């Protein structure tokens, strides 16, 4: 997960010489990639010094005949450096290269001090040159740790010499310590300045890259939205064909029979109903497009509540379906007629969308059932899934979001906004829409529900998925309402 970083916020982290964990990891990888050649060169150099020191001390102590403990320490230090040469080419070396260099350097210096003689001086001097000129490219924290270790080794060496020779020269110790501190302050000062520069340069590039990524994401999102809108508009325009044909045909027929002396009133009524149904379908399509546009704009959904028959709303939602999906499909209704206080037009679009999805994305029967539960009325659209598999829990979590479509539905027309508009309409009625199904999409797995509150299960045997709309109980049984 990318951490949002601004220039001003980053300056505070630069003063602390540490970014947040994710950004710090990126910085360390970037730093090492630029310093890789120099770091490897310093590793080869220290490895060569360690091996050469071990060889010279072995030869000076009588050849390669079973070395005593001091020689063994030098050989061990050389072996560690040689191992470091091979480790330096490992892909994960970026994570621990500084700690490896610090430990290897301190072990080599400790070995040289442990076997102190005339051969040790040039090697110790070579290590100090390596450190003073920052050839290892250590950052300030690790360089400070390395120099602290050297000071401790130096103190141990001075104490051991004083014990060995039985003398203690405070002035000499103070002079050496002062020189050591000054010499160590130089690389620390330059390293601090260099690291702040490195971090500042990294921060500039990181913020710039973030801005580019943000712009790219906005551009991609805009292009996706335009593509989705283009699909939605194209789909709506295509869907206008059937109702327009109905309206146009009915109107033309009425014109043709208008001049007849003996007009069949029943025939006129039939064609008038055709025109009304076609116009109503056009109105629902218009509203559907407006609701999807409202989703993209993030606007609230206004509702105008009135008492209507729930069964009529559901039947209207089933009636205004695309012939290519509804043809040959069996839709059953199960429930007592109930009066509900809802926005009629918007609730019909909810049922049009949910029933349409059940027809498009499943095989076999589609069942619509409704019932009362406490203060809510539950309307469930059940389907038998596609090829024996319904919506899984993982897939359910990817729906009801902008442009949320399943991969296996990509070839079927849709905008990815319908379910989101359904959820917003349900929430505008102080209700919710949720999914019931089985964890892996088959009845052999455990059932699940995405509902925010508890509702009784609506899934029945033979069905794999249910989209359930829960609305507050502004309802009464129609028979009682008519009394």
Lowest mean pLDDT among 195-204, 236-245, 392-401, 420-429: 236-245
CB 301 within 8 A of CB 346: yes
Closest of 7, 2, 41 to residue 22, by C-alpha: 2
Residue 437, pLDDT score: 94
Question: CA–CA separation, 415 vs 294, rounded Å?
Answer: 14
Is residue 399 a part of any domain in this protein? Answer: yes
Q: Would you tell me how many other CB atoms lie within 10 Å of the CB of residue 379?
A: 28
* Predicted confidence (pLDDT) per residue in 230-240, tens digit: 766 666 666 66
- Final residue in a domain of this structure, among 297, 314, 337: 297
Is residue 88 a part of any domain in this protein? Answer: yes
Q: Which helix (H) or strand (E) holds 445?
A: none
Is residue 227 a part of any domain in this protein? Answer: no
Question: CA–CA separation, 399 vs 417, rounded Å?
Answer: 10
| Distances in whole angstroms, Cα of residue 274 to Cα of each of 250, 267, 283, 414 | 6, 11, 14, 27
* Predicted confidence (pLDDT) per residue in 80-113, tens digit: 767 878 888 888 888 888 988 888 888 877 777 7
- Same domain? For 395 and 284 the reply is no
Question: CA–CA separation, 326 vs 356, rounded Å?
Answer: 8
* Predicted confidence (pLDDT) per residue in 38-81, tens digit: 888 888 887 787 777 767 766 665 544 444 555 565 566 667 76
Query: Per-residue confidence at 478, pLDDT binned at 50, 70, 90?
Result: very low
Residue 2, pLDDT score: 57
- Same domain? For 52 and 154 the reply is yes
Question: Tokens at residue 355, please?
Answer: 């029933």
Is residue 40 a part of any domain in this protein? Answer: yes
Strands 376-383 and 465-472, by their bridges, are antiparallel
CATH code for position 361: 3.30.565.10
Is residue 230 a part of any domain in this protein? Answer: no
- Same domain? For 59 and 156 the reply is yes
Q: How many domains does the chain have?
A: 3
Is residue 223 a part of any domain in this protein? Answer: no
Contacts (Cβ under 8 Å, ≥6 apart) of 283: 345
Question: CA–CA separation, 308 vs 296, rounded Å?
Answer: 29
Averaged pLDDT, 168-195: 78
User: Under DSSP, is residue 475 helix (H, G, I), strand (E, B) or coil?
Assistant: strand
Is residue 228 a part of any domain in this protein? Answer: no
- Same domain? For 470 and 398 the reply is yes
Question: CA–CA separation, 48 vs 129, rounded Å?
Answer: 15
DSSP state of 444: T
Question: CA–CA separation, 155 vs 157, rounded Å?
Answer: 5
Is residue 154 a part of any domain in this protein? Answer: yes
Which residue segment(s) compose the domain that 269 sits in? 240-297
Closest of 367, 392, 372, 378 to residue 433, by C-alpha: 378
Question: Tokens at residue 184, please?
Answer: 């160590």
Half-sphere exposure of 5 (CA within 13 A, CB side): 27
Residue 384, pLDDT score: 92
Query: Per-residue confidence at 477, pLDDT binned at 50, 70, 90?
Result: very low
| pLDDT tops 90 at residue 368 | yes
| Distances in whole angstroms, Cα of residue 308 to Cα of each of 46, 279, 471 | 87, 20, 14
């Amino acid at each position: 997960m990318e951490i949002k970083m601004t220039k001003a916020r980053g300056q505070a982290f630069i003063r602390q010489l540490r970014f947040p964990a994710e950004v710090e990891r990126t910085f360390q990888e970037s730093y090492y990639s630029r310093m890789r050649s120099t770091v490897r060169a310093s590793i080869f150099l220290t490895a060569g010094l360690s091996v050469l020191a071990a060889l010279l001390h072995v030869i000076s102590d009588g050849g390669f005949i079973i070395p005593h403990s001091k020689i063994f320490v030098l050989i061990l230090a050389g072996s560690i450096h040689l191992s470091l040469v091979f480790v330096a080419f490992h892909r994960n070396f970026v994570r621990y290269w500084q700690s490896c260099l610090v430990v290897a350097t301190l072990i080599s210096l400790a070995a040289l001090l442990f076997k102190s003689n005339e051969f040790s001086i040039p090697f110790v001097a070579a290590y100090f040159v390596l450190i003073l000129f920052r050839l290892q490219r250590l950052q300030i924290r690790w360089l400070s740790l390395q120099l602290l270790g050297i000071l401790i080794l130096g103190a141990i060496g001075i104490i051991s010499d004083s014990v060995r020779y039985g003398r203690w020269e405070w002035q000499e110790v103070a002079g050496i310590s002062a020189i050591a501190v000054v010499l160590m302050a130089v690389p620390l000062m330059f390293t601090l300045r260099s690291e702040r520069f490195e971090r500042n340069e990294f921060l500039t590039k990181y913020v710039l890259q973030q801005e580019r990524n943000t712009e790219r994401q906005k551009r991609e999102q805009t292009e996706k939205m335009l593509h989705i809108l283009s699909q939605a508009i194209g789909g709506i325009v295509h869907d206008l064909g059937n109702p327009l044909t109905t309206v146009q045909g009915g109107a033309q027929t009425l014109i043709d029979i208008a001049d007849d002396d003996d007009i069949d009133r029943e025939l006129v009524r039939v064609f008038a109903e055709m025109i009304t149904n076609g116009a109503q379908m056009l109105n629902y399509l218009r509203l559907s497009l407006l609701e999807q546009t409202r989703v993209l704009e993030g606007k609230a959904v206004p509702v105008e509540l009135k008492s209507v028959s729930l069964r009529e709303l559901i039947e209207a939602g089933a009636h205004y379906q695309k012939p290519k999906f509804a043809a040959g499909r069996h839709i059953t209704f199960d429930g007592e007629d109930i009066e509900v206080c809802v926005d009629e037009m918007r609730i019909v679009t909810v049922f049009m969308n949910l029933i349409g999805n059940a027809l498009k994305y499943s095989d076999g029967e589609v069942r619509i059932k409704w019932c009362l539960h406490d203060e809510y009325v539950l309307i469930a659209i059940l389907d038998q899934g596609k090829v024996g598999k319904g919506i899984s829990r993982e897939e359910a979590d990817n729906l009801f979001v902008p442009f949320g479509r399943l991969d296996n539905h990509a070839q079927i027309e849709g905008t990815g906004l319908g379910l989101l508009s359904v959820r917003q309409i349900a929430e505008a009625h102080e209700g919710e829409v949720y999914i019931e199904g089985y964890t892996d999409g088959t009845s052999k797995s455990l059932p699940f529900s995405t509902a925010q509150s508890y509702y009784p299960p609506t899934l029945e045997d033979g069905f794999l998925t249910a989209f359930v709309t829960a609305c507050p109980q502004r309802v009464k049984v129609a028979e009682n309402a008519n009394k």
